Structures are given as C-alpha cells and as structure tokens.
Amino acid sequence: MSLNLAFEKQVAIAAVRRACVLTASVFNNLVKNETLTKEDASPVTVGDFSAQAVINTILNRAFPDDPIVGEEDAADLRAESGAALRKRIVELANATLTAKLEVEEKEEWGLGPNYSQTTEQLLDIIDRGNYGGGRTGRMWTLDPIDGTKGFLRGEQYAVCLSLIVDAQVELGVIGCPNLPSDPSNPSGPRGNIFVAVRGQGAYQLPLHDPLSSPGTRLAIPAFTPENLNLLESVEKAHAKLSFNDRVAELLGVTRPPTRMDSQAKYAALSRGDGGVYLRMPTGVGYREKIWDHAPGSLIVEEAGGVVTDSRGERLDFGLGRTLGENFGVVAAGKQTHAKVLEAVKKALAEEKGQ
Ligand SMILES: Nc1ncnc2c1ncn2[C@@H]1O[C@H](COP(=O)(O)O)[C@@H](O)[C@H]1OP(=O)(O)O
Ligand SMILES: [Mg+2]
Ligand SMILES: [Mg+2]
Ligand SMILES: [Mg+2]
C-alpha cells in the first residue's frame, strides 16, 4: 500500500530546490571565478555544509521528530581553525533561508526574511544529520552535494534527499542543476528535479519552475543490444570500470558508456538516457552510503526498473549509515536487468577462475 506522503513530497521538493539554488551560486561565485584563496576552504566544503544546513532547517521545522542521516557533520566547523569557513557557511545558509517565499513554501518551515539563524543554531542543525540509521521507523537521508568531483568540474552533481520508513525508501527527490531537461538537446535548458513516491510513479520537474508539479512521468524504455549503453562513474576510484567493459561485451553492447558523476546516473536511467547503471566495488573495502542510493533507487523502481546488488538481492537500507558489505549496484529496466545480472554473474565467475 502506498503511503500518503503529499506533504513530505512538497517539503522535500522545496528543500532540494532551495539547496540547488545555493549550490549553483557557490559554483558561479566561488568555483568559476576562483574567488576562494588556497587558505580558504574548498568551495565544495562551503557548498556541502551550507546546503545541509538549509535542508536540515526545513526538515527540522516541518518534521521535528524525524531523524536525519546526513553526510556532513559540524565538528570541523566548531574548531577554532574553522572560523573563516563557519562565517561563509552562516552567510550563505542565511541568504538562502531568508530569500522570499515561493508559492509552494510555508513560513513555518523556517523560510523567508524573518528567519535568519545564529551560528550556533546552524551548527546544531547541521548535526541533526548525525543519525545512525536502522531497521525501524522514519528517517531522512541527505547528501547535500553528491558527486563533488563533478560539481568542481562544472559537470553533473546532485542534491539527494529521501524518506525511509522501516528500511524501505518511500520518497526520493534528486535535484540535478546541470542535467539537460531534454537528453536529445544537451545544450538546451538545464536543471531538473526528479521525484518519486513509492507506488505513485517517478516524475521530472524543471528546477526553476516551482509551479511545475507533478511534471513529466518517467518510464524506462525497452532496449536492444544495439541501443543499450552503460551509465558509469567518471572517477576510476569509485567503481571498477574494467568490469563494466567485460559486462558490456558479454551483453553485445556496442555503444560506448556514458560517464557521469553522482546520482544523476539514476535520474538519467529513469528517463531512458542510458540503459544500465552498473557500479561494482574496486576492492578496497569501501562501503556505499545509504544517502548515495536511497532516492535514486526509488526513482528507478518507480520508472519501471529494478535495482539490486550483483547477487540479485535488494539493497538493504536498514543496516545503518551504509549498505553494509559492498556487492555493487545493478540498476536497469525490468527486461534488461535480468540479462545484465546474468552477464555480471558470468563476469564475476570469470574473475574467480583467473
Ligand atoms: N572510494 C569510493 N568508492 C566509491 N564511491 C565513493 C568513494 N569515495 C567517495 N565515493 C562517493 O561516490 C559517489 C560518487 O560516485 P560517482 O563517481 O559515481 O559519481 C559520491 O557519493 C562520493 O562521495 P561524495 O558525495 O562525497 O562525492
Ligand atoms: Mg554522495
Ligand atoms: Mg556528498
Ligand atoms: Mg563527500
């Protein structure tokens, strides 16, 4: 049975939209113009912390009892050495929170000109993201900037928020400020929000139009080997790309992979802009974090896809802040997924035989 999460969805979209405006301005002011000196913090750190402060403020006001599993914590900001960074983050978070209300937003969420926060309040609110996760109850997951390397390159990154209830993702929202609205027109308008509520479908909305809900419904198309391609990380340290090449070969894929940073890969897959998202561990013991997969996996499922690990098992969001032992991620449309899983198992067996 689908939960009625209309209010949660409205709040989550508004929170992600505000954070996307913030991160885009950090990029334009601090990254592109290189106004941060070497002694200053990295722009991505400024963006991460202030975006988490903004989203946590809104969640805390709208859902005061809900815990949040967020990527960042304020320990470094509280240190004496964090003074310059702290000042920048407070300025940026307050500028974002006090901006005028959009039609779908409410003052009760701590938004608008009357809601400037103190430094202490903002540090505490960043630390509202320190929940350890678990199997029962409601919790939000937040990655304020996912794909930090892509963010710095001016390429893909994502602001990622989800609501998990009893270890099942029920709501997912991903903001992709740099993703083209129409994949067939890559130089056309950019900036989209992807949203899904379990049982209610997945949708794409333009980032800059707060009245655009519900948006365009997404459905993963069927693929043949000729038009199939893989979505994968840009960063070699994040996934085993040589393994992907072997799987593509086994599947008879001839198109080159699409390399893209962040959970924008799940968004791209959900609209058929790439047929498989394959992310196998590099073997260094890295554990995937729940905030890196929760919203994306629901959006793909609601677009008609299947998301499992390399054993064919569902991702387990009830183990804490991570997904536990890393068996990789295989995401694709229903028909494609079964074939990809078979190829993945074959490639794994080949590796073992070597
Ligand atoms: N060693 C690693 N292996 C896999 N993923 C990693 C590793 N280090 C960081 N990440 C995370 O991988 C995700 C990006 O993957 P991709 O390269 O596919 O876009 C990010 O969430 C990034 O964290 P962060 O959110 O801090 O950028
Ligand atoms: Mg991330
Ligand atoms: Mg991040
Ligand atoms: Mg990070």
Q: Look at residue 1 and tell me whether its pLDDT is greater than 90.
A: no
Q: What is the pLDDT at residue 29?
A: 86
Tell me, yes or no, whether 242 lies in a domain: yes
Q: Which protein residue's CA is at the shortest distance from atom 3 of ligand 1?
A: 238
Which two three-digit tokens encode residue 33? 């113009």
**Percentage of residues in the chain with pLDDT exceeding 90?**
88
Domain count, the chain: 1
Q: Which residues are annotated as a binding site for Mg(2+)?
A: 71, 143, 145-146, 292
Tell me, yes or no, whether 271 lies in a domain: yes
Q: Look at residue 34 and tell me whether its pLDDT is greater than 70.
A: no
Full-model pTM:
0.96
Distance CA 305, CA 330 (A): 10
Mean pLDDT of the chain: 95
Residue 171 one-letter amino acid: L
Query: What CATH number corresponds to the domain at position 312?
Result: 3.40.190.80
Q: Look at residue 41 and tell me whether its pLDDT is greater than 80.
A: no
Q: What is the mean pLDDT of residues 335-346?
A: 97
CA 136 to chain centre: 22
Tell me, yes or no, whether 81 lies in a domain: no
Q: Which residues are annotated as a binding site?
A: 71, 143, 145-146, 292
Q: Look at residue 33 and tell me whether its pLDDT is greater than 70.
A: no
Q: Look at residue 38 and tell me whether its pLDDT is greater than 50.
A: no
> Where is pLDDT greater, at 29 or 322?
322
Q: What is the pLDDT at residue 264?
A: 98
CA 282 to chain centre: 21
Give the active site residues.
Answer: 48, 148
**Percentage of residues in the chain with pLDDT exceeding 70?**
96
Q: How confident is the model at residue 36 (pLDDT cuts 50, 70, 90)?
A: low
Its domain, for residue 337, covers: 230-353
Tell me, yes or no, whether 90 lies in a domain: no
Residues 274-322 have pLDDT tens digits of 999 999 999 999 999 999 999 999 999 999 999 999 999 999 999 999 9
* Pocket-testing residue among 238, 244, 259, ligand 1, by greatest number of atoms within 8 A of Cβ: 238
> Where is pLDDT greater, at 38 or 110?
110
Given a contact cutoff of 8 angstroms between Cβ atoms, the answer to whether 229 and 258 are in contact is yes
Distance 174 CA to ligand 2 centre (A): 12
Atom of ligand 1 nearest to the CA of 151: 27
Q: Which protein residue's CA is at the shortest distance from atom 5 of ligand 1?
A: 238
Distance 26 CA to ligand 3 centre (A): 15
Specify the range with the lowest mean pLDDT, choosing from 38-52, 81-95, 252-266: 38-52
Tell me, yes or no, whether 329 lies in a domain: yes
> Where is pLDDT greater, at 49 or 37?
49
Tell me, yes or no, whether 251 lies in a domain: yes
Interface confidence: ipTM more than 0.90 = yes
Q: What is the mean pLDDT of residues 84-92?
A: 93
Residues contacting ligand 1 via CB (< 6 Å): 143, 146-148, 233-235, 237-238, 261-262, 286, 292
Tell me, yes or no, whether 313 lies in a domain: yes
Q: Which protein residue's CA is at the shortest distance from atom 11 of ligand 1?
A: 238
Distance 112 CA to ligand 3 centre (A): 26
Tell me, yes or no, whether 131 lies in a domain: no
Residues 149-181 have pLDDT tens digits of 999 899 999 999 999 999 999 999 999 999 999
Q: Which phi and psi angles does 130 have, rounded to 5°?
A: -90, 10
